[in-house]
Amino acid sequence: MESINFLIKPLDSTNYATWCSDIKILLLERDCWDIVTERQAAPVVKEGDEIDARKLKELNLRFNRDYTTIYVNVSPQYRTIIEGLTNGAEA
């Protein structure tokens, strides 16, 4: 699959509606939209559980990717609102 490469205007006080549409497309392309909409939750790992390390690493990468995608596409003046969070669903 070919990756799309486009820039969106960072979220500010004037562009919420268009930013929402643009960020959704970007997160869909990066396979992160299910995380943001909370259709895919972070895995709960209990002691003694056998987990496929590769799958867990990939899921953690996707969780990091969704948050960083949102963070860098928010105007610096509003980043303080989400900078303490660690996932896109909360952001």
Give the helix ranges, DSSP H, for the chain: 16-29, 33-36, 53-72, 76-82
pLDDT at res. 9: 95
pLDDT (tens digit per residue) in 14-36: 999 999 999 999 999 998 898 88
Q: pLDDT band for position 70 (50/70/90)?
A: very high
pLDDT at res. 8: 93
Rounded Cα–Cα distance for residues 52 and 20 (Å)? 34
User: Where in the chain are the domains?
Assistant: 15-84
Q: Report helix, strand or coil for 23.
A: helix
